[in-house]
């Protein structure tokens, strides 16, 4: 979890590939109306996020029920979002990719072909409720180093 540009998809894909686990990006579960709203520079509110969070909740429960190892890259900016997504704290491990506004803003300026504009980053930081019960990983290292650190801490 983390704000847009923190490396959720990059790290999640790399970690899933190394572990031979499933990977899903929560961005793919947004309804078209949410994508269009963000593309136009309008932040989502909780009513916009509700159907998206519900779809992700169902996905996570399917993975748990089928005892499937998987990684979901998801912003999960608020505690209430994480509560909804993590029904079983024994089965779901939360990793918070943490970085400064300046570092992430620079990354977003380099990113192409994504619906999330740089202008919404401040709103994401303002909305973010940093988790106290998550593994916090500094994102200033390379993706390979971040994955190595996550694997080491989780014993994977």
pLDDT tens digit sequence for 62-93: 999 999 999 999 999 999 999 988 766 678 99
Q: Cα separation of 1 and 77, whole Å? A: 7
Residue 44 in any domain: the answer is yes
Asked if residue 33 belongs to a domain, the reply is: yes
Q: Is residue 3 part of a domain?
A: no
Residue 2 lies in a domain: no
Specify if 58 maps to a domain: yes
User: Number of H helices and number of E strands within the chain?
Assistant: 7, 4
Q: Is the pTM of this model over 0.85?
A: yes
Place 50 in a pLDDT band, splitting at 50, 70 and 90. very high
pLDDT of 98 above 90: yes
Whether the per-residue pLDDT at 112 is higher than 80: the answer is no
pLDDT tens profile 9-43: 999 999 999 999 999 999 999 999 998 998 888 88
Contact 84, 53 (CB under 8 A): yes
Question: At a CB cut-off of 8 Å and minimum separation 6, what does 138 contact?
Answer: 98, 99
CATH number at residue 134: 3.40.50.300
Q: Are 56 and 26 in contact (CB under 8 A)?
A: yes
Q: What is the mean pLDDT of the chain?
A: 92
Structural domains of the chain, count: 1
Give me the residue label for tokens 């540009």.
5
**pLDDT given for residue 108 in this prediction:** 87
Residue 118 lies in domain: 8-154
């Amino acid at each position: 979890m983390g704000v847009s540009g923190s490396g959720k998809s990059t790290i999640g894909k790399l970690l899933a590939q190394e572990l031979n686990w499933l990977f899903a990006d929560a961005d793919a579960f947004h309804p078209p109306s949410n994508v269009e709203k963000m593309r136009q520079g309008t932040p989502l509110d909780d009513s916009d996020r509700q159907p998206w969070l519900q779809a992700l909740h169902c996905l996570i429960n399917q993975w748990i029920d089928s005892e499937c190892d998987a990684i979901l890259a998801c912003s999960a900016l608020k505690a209430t979002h994480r509560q909804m997504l993590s029904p079983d704290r024994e089965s779901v491990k939360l990793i918070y990719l943490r970085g400064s506004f300046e570092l992430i803003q620079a990354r977003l300026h380099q990113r192409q072909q994504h619906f999330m504009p740089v202008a919404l980053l401040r709103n994401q930081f303002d909305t973010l409720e940093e988790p106290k019960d998550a593994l916090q990983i500094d994102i200033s290292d390379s993706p390979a180093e971040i994955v190595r650190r996550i694997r080491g801490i989780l014993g994977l």
